[in-house]
Amino acid sequence: MLVALAGGVGAARFLRGLLRVHAPSDLLVVGNTGDDLRMHGLAVSPDLDSVAYTLAGLADEERGWGLAGETWNVGDALARLGEPSWFALGDRDIATHLLRTRLLAEGATLSEATAEVCARLGVPVRLLPMSDQPVETRVEVDGPGGPEDLGFQEYWVARKASDPVRAVRFRGAEAARPAPGVLEAIGSAGGVLLCPSNPVVSIAPILAVPGIRDAIRAAPCRVAAVTPIIGGAPVRGMADKLLPAWGVEVSARGVAGLYAGLADAFVLDTVDAWQADAVAGLGLQPVVVPTLMRTVEDAAALAKAAMGAL
Ligand code: FO1
């Protein structure tokens, strides 16, 4: 069994490629829930949904989040009623959140609700949230009027990542437990993959759930990480704003430094081949291949290279 730690769209695209070269029944995906929020009373899990929608073949490829063929009538009507409109929920997407919210209100755990949503969407792999307890990524910024503590989506969507970041924290992480099955899967895994996701707000929240980092360290298998940074910039997202807040260089070798002692191999792009020695110096086997995923074939080739390092 392979275990993959995943954030949003980058991870989703990588995993879709992985499924071209690996059996879905032999993959467990552990998704980040630090980005989760309540919107209009609905439980929204953006990273779980990005993985689920993409692997079910339902994602809007262009936008990078949400469902294809989306319409926006409910959001427009809510805005007319004076409800917040900074976080756009499409009509079809709202159906997912209604189902998840009902299941949670009836007493299901987030793992159970996620399994149900995935089964109904036709997601071919097992997708688990990192935890059934809430862990909230908080971004402390220098706002226009002084220091502010923002929820991740407030920072990224409402404020467009425009405020200088002072710190990133995972509220609730200390009290959270890994979702049922996560530690067992890691403990018996044939390989662990850290997907090409933002290391600060996608992978770090998963590793912040007590027990997960230690389980990966102690796993009887190899661990390979894939860079989300190519040529000193993230392919999409805000890693360039967040890595410096942790004193980390916005580069493949900077990300590799965050995974030193955890991963055995690090996949970096050919344009960053000159950083391979620095990666090796951190104790990680460098694997230099094209990492930009323009097509599913690109993603499959990247996944094959990452698996080859396990
Ligand atoms: N990203 C945006 O930039 N603007 C939005 O209004 C927005 C809404 C949204 C709704 C549901 C969902 O699953 C994702 C959504 N995203 C939106 C993407 C999301 O903010 C982030 O890209 C991820 O949380 C980071 O992985």
Distance 62 CA to ligand 1 centre (A): 13
Residue 237: its pLDDT value, please? 84
Give the sheet arrangement for strand 191-194, strand by strand: 126-129, 27-31, 2-6, 191-194, 223-226, 265-268, 285-288
- Whether 31 is in the pocket of ligand 1, judged by its Cβ within 6 Å, is no
- Whether 259 is in the pocket of ligand 1, judged by its Cβ within 6 Å, is no
Assign 229 to helix, strand or coil: strand
H or E segment at 151?
Answer: strand 146-151
Please say whether the beta carbons of 130 and 30 come within 8 A.
Answer: yes
- Whether 89 is in the pocket of ligand 1, judged by its Cβ within 6 Å, is yes
Please say whether the beta carbons of 199 and 255 come within 8 A.
Answer: yes
- Whether 93 is in the pocket of ligand 1, judged by its Cβ within 6 Å, is yes
Distance 34 CA to ligand 1 centre (A): 13
Task: Look up residue 218 and give its two tokens.
Answer: 């102690």
Distance 127 CA to ligand 1 centre (A): 19
- Whether 155 is in the pocket of ligand 1, judged by its Cβ within 6 Å, is no
- Whether 46 is in the pocket of ligand 1, judged by its Cβ within 6 Å, is yes
- Whether 34 is in the pocket of ligand 1, judged by its Cβ within 6 Å, is no
H or E segment at 127?
Answer: strand 126-129
Distance 35 CA to ligand 1 centre (A): 9
| Identity of the residue numbered 48 | L
Angle of helix 46-55 relative to helix 9-21, nearest 10 degrees, comes to 30
pTM attached to this predicted model:
0.98
Distance 261 CA to ligand 1 centre (A): 32
Distance 280 CA to ligand 1 centre (A): 35
Which among 255, 141, 240, 145 is positioned nearest to 196, based on CA atoms?
Answer: 255
Per-residue pLDDT of the chain (310 residues; tens, 9 = 90+): 999 999 999 999 999 999 999 999 999 999 999 999 999 999 999 999 999 999 999 999 999 999 999 999 999 999 999 999 999 999 999 999 999 999 999 999 999 999 999 999 999 999 999 999 999 999 999 999 999 999 999 999 999 999 999 999 999 999 999 999 999 999 999 999 999 999 999 999 999 999 999 999 999 999 999 999 999 999 888 899 999 999 999 999 999 999 999 999 999 999 999 999 999 999 999 999 999 999 999 999 999 999 999 9
